[in-house]
Chain A
Amino acid sequence: KNEVEQSPQNLTAQEGEFITINCSYSVGISALHWLQQHPGGGIVSLFMLSSGKKKHGRLIATINIQEKHSSLHITASHPRDSAVYICAATTGNQFYFGTGTSLTVIP
């Protein structure tokens, strides 16, 4: 069993739609990260969360520590949001990664 599970694996949306990507983890974490990877490989760290909610532009990340669950929301999606979104849980000494959600936003 993977320590971090993401859903859905693939997601296609129309421009302007509200998008949610889910992440569940089974380990005790010190923080939960959301990463974005564009074609070609470059990875950008979007959020690091240990509780509550964070917002950056059209992106919102939430975490429920009791339920061991985090969500990444994208409001008013745009084709430039097309990328792979990866959830990562960090414990005191390990990083565990989800398998990623491939998002395609169609104009």
Chain B
Amino acid sequence: KAGVTQTPRYLIKTRGQQVTLSCSPISGHRSVSWYQQTPGQGLQFLFEYFSETQRNKGNFPGRFSGRQFSNSRSEMNVSTLELGDSALYLCASSLGFGQPQHFGDGTRLSIL
């Protein structure tokens, strides 16, 4: 069974740009969650999508958004990038929110 796939693995952007990250979940998993990991703040929950609807959301500004498609694939978008958005962005899929999370390898985003 294929695992969670995130693309791209690495991205370099400049301040003010926007970025879209992609996540393909494990087949059969309808819940996709996104997390941000930084050295200073550790892991933080961004949001969770289930059946194309955002069900849960962490404490992040509106510049962070996402969507989920009918095949459960999900995208995360960050607009007006700031230096502080440099982080490892992780996607995880599961059978439902709070269930064991299956993580992708992450996208490492660097903002110059």
In the complex with contacts A48-B99, A97-B44, A42-B56 CB distance below 8 A = no
Known: A30-B98, A31-B98, A41-B88. A94 touches B45 (CB 8 A): yes
Q: Whole-angstrom distance between the alpha carbons of A18 and B45 in the complex?
A: 32
Q: Which of A41, A88, A99 contacts B106 (CB 8 A)?
A: A41
CA distance A21 to B45 in the complex (A): 22
Chain B contact residues, majority secondary structure: strand
CB of A66 within 8 Å of the partner chain: no
Contact partners of B101 in chain A: CB under 8 A? 33, 35, 43, 45
Q: Which residues of B contact A44 (CB under 8 A)?
A: 103
A68-94 interface with B by 8 A CB criterion: 86, 88, 90, 92-94
CB B23 to nearest CB in A, in angstroms, measures 14
B9 to chain A minimum Cβ distance, whole angstroms, is: 10
Instruction: Say if the beta carbon of B58 comes within 8 Å of chain A.
Output: yes
- Give chain B residues whose Cβ lies under 8 Å from the Cβ of A94: 45, 56, 58
Instruction: Tell me the complex Cα distance, A97–B101, Å.
Output: 13
Question: Inside 8 A of A30's CB, which chain B residues have their CB?
Answer: 98
In the complex, how many residues of chain A place their beta carbon closer than 8 angstroms to a beta carbon of chain B?
23
What is the total number of residues of chain B having a CB less than 8 Å from a CB of chain A?
Answer: 23
Q: Are A42 and B45 CB-contacts (below 8 A) given A30-B98, A90-B98?
A: no
Is there a chain A Cβ closer than 8 Å to B67's Cβ? no
Bound together, the chains give a CA A6 to CA B91 distance in angstroms of 23
Query: Nearest 6 CB-CB pairs, A to B?
Result: A95-B45, A97-B43, A90-B98, A43-B103, A93-B56, A45-B100
Q: List residues of chain A with CB under 8 Å of any chain B CB.
A: 30-31, 33, 35, 40-45, 48, 86, 88, 90, 92-100
A-B contacts besides A30-B98, A43-B101, A45-B100, 8 pairs, CB < 8 Å: A31-B98, A41-B90, A41-B106, A41-B108, A42-B103, A48-B99, A95-B45, A95-B58
Interface pairs (12), CB distance under 8 Å: A33-B101, A40-B105, A41-B37, A41-B88, A41-B90, A43-B101, A44-B103, A45-B102, A86-B43, A94-B56, A95-B98, A100-B42
